Amino acid sequence: VQLVESGGGLVQPGGSLRLSCVASGGILTINSMAWYRQGPGKQRELVASITREGNTNYVDSVKGRFTISRDNAKNTAYLQMNSLKPEDMAVYYCNARIFNPVLVQENLYWGQGTQVTVSS
C-alpha cells in the first residue's frame, strides 16, 4: 500500500491550496483518512480527519478555513485550505487506516508529505 500526497507549494497569506492524497496497492477498504502537519520545530499535529461515512473532525485552528473530503471510489482524500496563514506553513502528511481482510486487521499507512509554504 502506498499513499502519495500532492498539491503543496508556495502561496501568499490569504491564498488557497488543495492537497490530494491517493492510496494505491490492492486496497479493498479504507476506513478513516486524515491530514497531519509538522511545522518547523513543532510536533506533528492532527489537522483534520474523515471517516468512510464522511464524518469529519478538525483542529480548532483550521475550523472554517480548511475542508477535508474524500472520494471512496478513487481511494483519495483532499484537503481544501483557504485563507492560509503563515502559521499554516508545514509539511502536510496524510494517513489512512486500511483494513486487511486476509490478516483481519487494520493497518495505518503514511504518505511522504508535501510542503506548504505561506509567505509573501
Nearest of 109, 87, 97, 79 to residue 38 by alpha carbon: 87
Q: Where are the beta strands (DSSP E) in 17-104?
A: 17-24, 29-38, 45-50, 56-58, 66-71, 76-81, 90-100
Quick one: DSSP state of residue 26?
Answer: S
Q: Residue 16: what pLDDT?
A: 98
Residue 63: all three cell numbers together: 475550523
Q: Residue 102: what pLDDT?
A: 84
The tens digit of pLDDT for each residue in 74-113 reads 999 999 999 999 999 999 999 999 988 888 889 999 999 9
- Please state, in angstroms and rounded to a whole number, the distance separating the CA atoms of residues 86 and 35: 18
Q: Residue 101: what pLDDT?
A: 83
